[in-house]
Structure 1
Amino acid sequence: MSDTCPEAIEAPLTKERYRDAMASVAAAVNVVTTDGPAGRAGFTATAVCSVTDAPPTLLVCVKRDSSVGEAFRANGALCVNTLAPEHVALSNLFGGRTHVDERFAAAVWTTAETGAPVLEGALASFDCRVASVVDVGTHAVLFCEVVAIGLGEPSEALIYVGRRYDTVAACA
């Protein structure tokens, strides 16, 4: 057995190499929204995943120094809206430096039980209360207990992989 690493594994680990590797990991594209005493806010996220189904819990990662991070902590509620291919422009708006009013003006929204904005036409919407927050490096990990779910029409799902959008067939 060799004591050396395979050629595909390189040391030392750099931030750029980590980002390049993560670009090969396909992920669903979501617009995460909140509203409440700290105001309305939203951002595009691929760092969303299920934690457990008892109780139903998601985790959502948000950059701590982002313009929206504090609103999510302070409001204590959010909605994860999973996007379909027709939402690419909306994803770009919520992923950029666009003013919050312009972001929300680009789509039709309803209000969830928690008060968070729900995207009309989302593949799925998870209305959540933030149960806890853990700071890790540059990001805050929000553990979110799901209180209600909305399911849209079956469609292809919007994913992000290789630093570009793509689609994948969603199950009906």
Structure 2
Amino acid sequence: MIKATAFRDAMSLLTTAVNVVTTKGSSGAHGFTASAVCSVTDTPPTLLVCMNQTARSHAHFIENRTLSVNVLGAQHEPISNAFASKLCSEERFQQGSWTTLVTGAPILEDALVSFDCEIEDVQQVGTHSVFMCRVVGINHGEQYSDQQEGAGESLVYFNRAYHQVGQVETI
């Protein structure tokens, strides 16, 4: 049998995009930092998002049945840290500039890309909920200026640390 620690150590070597996943409903806006996000299919456009059932905002995602996946750029490391911290939801959303699309889930205006989704199905797998999310809106982030630190680079997580990929070479 594989021990949980061995599995976590092995998974730390799987490079993943860093995302902030958000929702909004009658109880306010909520969100968390996630690396367990992936495409399922493009027909219909569907994402899979995993969330720990013990997360304090879990019930809000279940109740709202909507979420947005905000793919973070290299300059968003402070936002990732805020949404992974013990800060209250209100303090988390003080980081960055937010808007909405179709569902009302918060969209980070300068995310590399944001996917606005309706949660169509929820499966319980061990400690996590797996959300099957129909994409109903897409927003490409504001254009980056050459002066902005980390412009156009993706924030990824590998070996328990942040890294940047996608640097654009200038001639």
Q: TM-score, normalised by structure 2?
A: 0.90
Q: Does 1:37 align with 2:34?
A: no
2:119 to 130, 139, 154: 130
Structure 2 gap ranges (5+): 145-151
Letter in 2 for 1:134: Q
Match of 1:78, SS state, is strand
Aligned to 1:107, what secondary structure does the other structure show? coil
Q: CA deviation at 1:170?
A: 7.0
1:38–1:135 distance in 2 versus 1, CA, 3 Å: farther
SS of residue matched to 1:40? strand
State whether structure 2 residue 88 is matched by structure 1 residue 99.
yes
- Between 1:118-127 and 1:38-47, the stretch displaced more is 38-47
- Asked whether the equivalents of residues 83 and 123 of structure 1 are also in contact (C-alpha less than 8 Å), the reply is yes
Letter in 2 for 1:166: H
Is 2:149 the partner of 1:160? no
1:18 corresponds to: 7
Is this contact kept in 2: 1:132–1:142, CA < 8 A? yes
Structure of larger gyration radius: 1
Q: Distance in 1 between matches of 2:28 and 2:133?
A: 19
Which residue in the other structure is 1:9 paired with? none
Distance in 1 between the 2:118 and 2:54 partners? 21
Secondary structure, aligned partner of 2:28? coil
CA contact (8 A) 1:127 1:146 kept: yes
- Deviation, 1:35, is 0.2
2-side partners of 1:106 and 1:151: how far apart? 19
- 1:68-83 mapped onto 2 (5 Å cutoff): 68-83=57-72
RMSD: 1.3
Q: Report the equivalent of 1:4.
A: none
Shift of 1:96: 1.2
Asked whether 1:169 is paired with 2:166, we answer yes
Structure 1 gap ranges (5+): 1-11
Aligned length: 160
More deviation in 24-33 or 107-116? 107-116
Q: State the one-letter code of the partner of 1:144.
A: C
Q: Which residue of 1 aligns with 2:148?
A: none
Of 32-41 and 80-89, deviating more is: 32-41
Secondary structure, counterpart of 1:35 in structure 2: strand
Task: Answer yes or no: is the 8 Å Cα contact 1:38–1:75 preserved in 2.
Answer: no
Q: List, as ranges, runs of 4+ consecutive aligned residues in structure 1 with deviation greater than 3 Å.
A: none
The Cα shift of 1:40 comes to 1.3
Q: Percent identity?
A: 47
Q: In 2, distance between residues paired with 1:130 and 1:37?
A: 17
